[in-house]
Amino acid sequence: MDGYHIKTMTREQLDLAIDWAAAEGWNPGLHDAESFYAADPEGFFMGFLNGEPVSSISAVRYGKGYGKGFGFIGFFMVKPEHRGGGYGFEIGQRALGHLEGRLIGIDGVVAQQENYKKAGFTLVYRNIRYQGVGSGKSVIHPEIVPLRTFPLGEIVACDRRFFPEERDAFVESWVSRPGTIALGIRLKKSLAGYGVLRPCRSGYKIGPLFAPDADSAKALLETLSGHAEKGAPIYLDVPEINPEAIALAEEYHMKVVFETARMYNRTPPDLPINEIFGITTFELG
């Protein structure tokens, strides 16, 4: 394609892609870029038309080794004035090549789901974004403690239960960004789940929200919400196939504002979906 070249993003170019995501209404976190880049510095691509950046995609690899493990595609965007020119298809192929041989997941927007099916992906369930408001109210649940109470090794081991592969570098960064509140569920002196509240362009997002049962998830959600400014919007991305997670969002009078289709190119990973009350992020899984 004349004049069109795809390159691995630099760290600074990832900031530009996040600005594009904000313009699309995706409401990224204020400090997402550092954690995203830590996950896989070689997993972000930008397309340039005659030197001008016009497209982006992420294809983040988890696990060790070529052709092994798990990958997740996100940040798939083409600037509005350049859509329809085939640039999205080309950068999509680059992402798939980067993840060759891996199980690949994607949270596809509604408008692109048919295109993802043509690329070999199958719909497994929907992720539903709920919007509520922060309570700004300090809440104490004895089992909810600062995540830093636990050693990093225990935190990443806990996270691994809820994700198809290890993502240690990402988790270490994700739970320690400025303004982020990371809390753990302590049961029998062990870490049984955790949740993160992070500041975004608008309000806050909660993700992940991992808990062994609905009562623990409720305590975690209530405590995280209390750390958000009173009345500020908070967002929680819930897997539709966990009915207790849907019930929890509705109990807190949260409203549906967006949805994606969780799709995979192979047999879906075997995860404890009944303990996933909120996914980490649409962009990286």
The model's pLDDT over 34-51, given as tens digits with 9 standing for 90+, comes to 999 999 999 999 999 999
Determine the average pLDDT of the residues in 150-156.
97
- Rounded Cα gap, residues 8 and 14, in angstroms: 10
Q: List beta partners, residue 181.
A: 197
At 220, phi and psi to the nearest 5?
Answer: -65, -45
State pLDDT tens for residues 218-272: 999 999 999 999 999 999 999 999 999 999 999 999 999 999 999 999 999 999 9
Give the confidence band of 66 by pLDDT, cuts at 50, 70, 90.
very low
Percent of all residues in the chain with a pLDDT value above 70, rounded to a whole number: 99
Q: Is the dihedral of CA 252, 215, 230, 171 positive or negative?
A: negative
DSSP helix/strand/coil, 138:
coil
- Rounded Cα gap, residues 100 and 178, in angstroms: 35
Report the pLDDT value the prediction gives residue 110, as an integer from 0 to 100: 80
Q: What is the pTM of this model?
A: 0.95
* Residue ranges in 227-264 assigned as alpha helix (H): 243-251
Length of the chain: 285
At residue 67, does pLDDT exceed 70? Answer: no
- CB 260 within 8 Å of CB 240: no
How far is residue 66 CA from its own chain's centroid?
23
Report the pLDDT value the prediction gives residue 111, as an integer from 0 to 100: 81
- Rounded Cα gap, residues 62 and 100, in angstroms: 13
Nearest to 136 by CA among 22, 49, 232, 263: 232
At residue 103, does pLDDT exceed 80? Answer: yes
What domains lie within the chain, and their CATH numbers?
A: 4-124 (3.40.630.30), 129-278 (3.40.630.90)
At residue 131, does pLDDT exceed 90? Answer: yes
List the structure tokens of 89.
């298809």
DSSP helix/strand/coil, 130:
strand
Report the pLDDT value the prediction gives residue 64, as an integer from 0 to 100: 64
Could you list the beta-strand ranges (E) of 66-121. 70-78, 103-108
Determine the average pLDDT of the residues in 42-67.
89
